[in-house]
């Protein structure tokens, strides 16, 4: 089973792909969708949508996992983040793939055993669990942690 974890943002989205074979989880790929070169907000949303579609086409995941939406410090940031999430979600559901969500606490507990784990703890545990040579970039590590949550919770059988 191939699982795509996705951590959306308006300037960069982290993605992480793993496979689950029995009780083993293996790293496939991880990275960022960066929108800094885009001229405006709408171009950023279009890029997030199209790159999300490309991830599904390239890796054909059986399951896509995301964190539940959270409220940012101000309403504008919340709306912008929700728009980025929606662009990715539309690409994922239009592909016919199953999409599930986990709260940030569920992700931290799944990967670190502690719902209040720090970003550094998540990065280190992702590196250990997936036997990676280096700690992944923060947004990619978050996406891999989200994918691992899907694998550990047995959402898709």
Mean pLDDT (whole number) for 3-18: 96
pLDDT at 72: 64
Q: pTM here?
A: 0.93
Could you say which of 43, 106, 139, 142 is catalytic?
139
Could you say which of 21, 67, 101, 124 is catalytic?
67
Please report the DSSP string for 108-130 in residue order: HHHHHS-TT--HHHHHHHHHHHT
DSSP state of 136: P
Pairing of strands 12-21, 63-67: unpaired
pLDDT at 73: 74
Angle between helices 119-129 and 104-112 (to 10 degrees): 50
Share of the chain above pLDDT 90, in %: 78
Residue 139 annotated among the catalytic residues of the structure? yes
Whole-number Å distance between alpha carbons of 90 and 53: 9
Whole-number Å distance between alpha carbons of 97 and 55: 12
- Per-residue pLDDT reduced to its tens digit, 73-114: 788 888 888 999 999 999 999 999 999 999 999 999 999 998
CATH code of the domain made up of 2-153: 3.30.420.10
- Per-residue pLDDT reduced to its tens digit, 127-143: 999 999 998 888 999 99
Residue 29 annotated among the catalytic residues of the structure? no
Residue 142 annotated among the catalytic residues of the structure? no
């Amino acid at each position: 089973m191939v699982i795509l974890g996705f951590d959306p943002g308006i300037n960069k989205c982290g993605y992480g792909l793993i496979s689950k074979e029995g009780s083993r989880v293996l790293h496939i790929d991880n990275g960022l969708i960066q929108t800094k070169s885009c001229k405006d907000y709408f171009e950023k949303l279009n890029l997030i949508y199209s790159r999300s579609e490309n991830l599904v086409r390239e890796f054909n995941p059986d399951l896509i996992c995301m964190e539940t939406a959270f409220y940012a410090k101000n309403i504008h940031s919340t709306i912008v983040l929700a728009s980025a999430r929606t662009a990715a979600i539309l690409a994922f559901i239009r592909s016919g793939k199953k999409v599930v969500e986990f709260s940030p606490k569920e992700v931290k507990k799944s990967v670190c055993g502690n719902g209040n784990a720090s970003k550094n703890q998540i990065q280190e545990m992702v590196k250990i669990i997936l036997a990676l040579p280096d700690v992944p970039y923060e947004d990619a590590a978050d996406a891999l942690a989200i994918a691992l949550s899907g694998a550990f919770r047995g959402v898709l059988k």
